[in-house]
Amino acid sequence: MEDVAVLPNESNARPEIFREYRSHIINSLYFGSILRCEEDISQPHKATCRWGGAMWSSFPSWLEDPLVNSIYWIKRKPGAGKPTLMKYIVEHPTSKLHLQQWPSEKALLSGTVYFWNAGDEMQKSREGLLQTLLHPILKQIPGFTPTVCPRKWALPQILGASSPSKLPKWKFPELMEAFIAFEGNHGSVFELIRTVSAEVGTKIIFSSRLWNIFRDQFDTNPSLKVERLTELDIRTFVNSEFEQTKGYIELRESNPKEAERLVSNIISKAQGVFLRVNLVVRELCVGFREGNRLSDL
């Protein structure tokens, strides 16, 4: 067996070579639009999207308990501000504080992926989903690269660390191996979520529209309906925007009942959908600034 290649290991290769190997593999997970959707998500309006509250009191306890069902479903109507809420949860330091209550000495690792209809092929694919999750995780723990990516780890050692372009594209089964021992054809995103969530020490926050196909899969999981959470935020947003216009302030001072009725009608008809509120409030603010009467609005 003279043609068998002997791969270097930690004991017979320089540390800088292994750093190069790891870097090439981690960089190969990156693709041009990996962060585009996340970067396009708007920041929440000031004084809205506050952490906690009675409407989602179950969420902090779910984060803290490693034994509770590992999938939490955030369900919403189109335009209800789901991406903004998800980004808020991921980035808020309180989320990490709750997760750190686990009785474990293991490192806390997190990854986030956002699907959207306007995305490119990679943003909407299973491969793109897993690469988007793996890339930041391996950047946090690069030393685990040989363990979770054994196939890719072998290739640069054979081809040379200076040839990252020779690394083949990632395939779905290989990406799944990075999370779990992959067996069979996980053709469904639902199966993917279920399979990954079955791993010990895993929590998945999954958000989607209220389609029947999602109800069938996740209705028994802990959940939050976004519209219930956003009612107070919508009121805060409407009042904040209106109070920047002299016309509304005058209306509120001269006819407070009509002013309150206007705000209440907006909240009621919005049905928790922030997008509708934003469009309506902008138009009304223009009307207030131009001195239109309430009946004209």
Per-residue pLDDT of the chain (297 residues; tens, 9 = 90+): 233 333 445 445 566 777 888 888 888 888 887 777 776 666 665 555 554 554 467 788 888 888 777 889 888 777 666 677 788 888 888 888 888 888 777 778 888 877 766 667 777 777 888 888 888 888 888 888 888 888 888 776 666 555 555 677 777 777 777 665 334 444 456 777 777 777 777 888 888 888 888 888 888 888 888 777 777 778 888 888 898 888 888 888 888 888 888 888 888 888 777 778 888 888 888 888 887 776 666
Does 256 share its domain with 111? no
Does 162 share its domain with 263? no
User: Residue written as tokens 């998945």?
Assistant: 204
Alpha helices by DSSP H, the chain: 15-28, 36-40, 58-64, 82-91, 93-99, 126-140, 145-148, 150-159, 172-179, 189-197, 212-218, 226-242, 246-254, 256-270, 274-289
* Cβ proximity of 63 and 99 under 8 Å: yes
Note the pLDDT of residue 86.
82
Residue 9 lies in a domain: no
Q: Among 185, 201, 227, where does a domain finish?
A: 227
Does 36 share its domain with 159? yes
Note the pLDDT of residue 6.
34
Q: Can you read off the two tokens belonging to residue 98?
A: 């709750």
Q: Among 209, 227, 245, where does a domain finish?
A: 227
Does 102 share its domain with 29? yes
Does 58 share its domain with 164? yes
Q: Is 77 exposed, middle or buried (0-12, 13-18, 19+ CB in 10 A)?
A: buried
Residue 3 lies in a domain: no
Does 142 share its domain with 250? no
Does 41 share its domain with 93? yes
Note the pLDDT of residue 14.
62
* Cβ proximity of 16 and 23 under 8 Å: no
Does 155 share its domain with 277? no
Which structural domain, as residue segments, surrounds residue 172?
A: 15-227
The torsion angles phi and psi of 154, rounded to 5 degrees, stand at -70, -35
Residue 85 lies in a domain: yes
Residue 24 lies in a domain: yes
Q: Is 180 exposed, middle or buried (0-12, 13-18, 19+ CB in 10 A)?
A: middle
Does 185 share its domain with 243? no
Cα 10–Cα 15–Cα 20 angle in degrees, nearest 5: 110
The torsion angles phi and psi of 204, rounded to 5 degrees, stand at -125, 125
Q: Can you read off the two tokens belonging to residue 280?
A: 């309506």
Of 111, 116, 182, 189, residue with least CA distance to 148: 182
pTM: 0.67
Does 84 share its domain with 164? yes
Q: Among 176, 206, 227, where does a domain finish?
A: 227
Work out how many domains the chain is built from and give that number: 2
Does 211 share its domain with 90? yes
Residue 183 lies in a domain: yes
Does 44 share its domain with 78? yes
